[in-house]
Structure 1
């Protein structure tokens, strides 16, 4: 499994956890928006590996945007949900193409 694929799964699961209504918002607030800064850096790292491995990077770009607007209550929840879906689907498709290559 390529590093970009693993990072897409990790960021997708983390985004899904942040998308849990109330709990995700409380977690973000309790960390003083540190969780959003951490996710921004993690999405940036995933983007760099995706580009280096010539993989789709739309989920990571969406994640960077989500990390910037994630503090807005309803918009943040919607963006975290969409980003989680995009990253998890992208991770699954990446695994599938990696298996076909081998």
Structure 2
């Protein structure tokens, strides 16, 4: 777990942002991406896929559709588990970050 958390912090490396690059962490069952600023992410997922939205470094304001529990400009508070273990109900999930930074993890099936 310590290595996974340490590796997740690499997603925030200033050189990635300065270069306009994106990065993701992958393992056999899941994928983690970092969204920053005003960003939109579209995921093509099988219905029933678990999707977690985790504020990173503070609160995040998020909209999300295609999920069992959609969000509309909701504030996800750092340290609160509200965005954990949502479930895709549509083949396309759209996540829009309005403010802050957000780790988006998908993979596994409910």
TM-score when scaled to structure 1? 0.29
The answer to which structure has the higher strand fraction is: 2
Q: Larger helix proportion, structure 1 or 2?
A: 1
Greater relative contact order (Cα < 8 A, sep 6+): 1
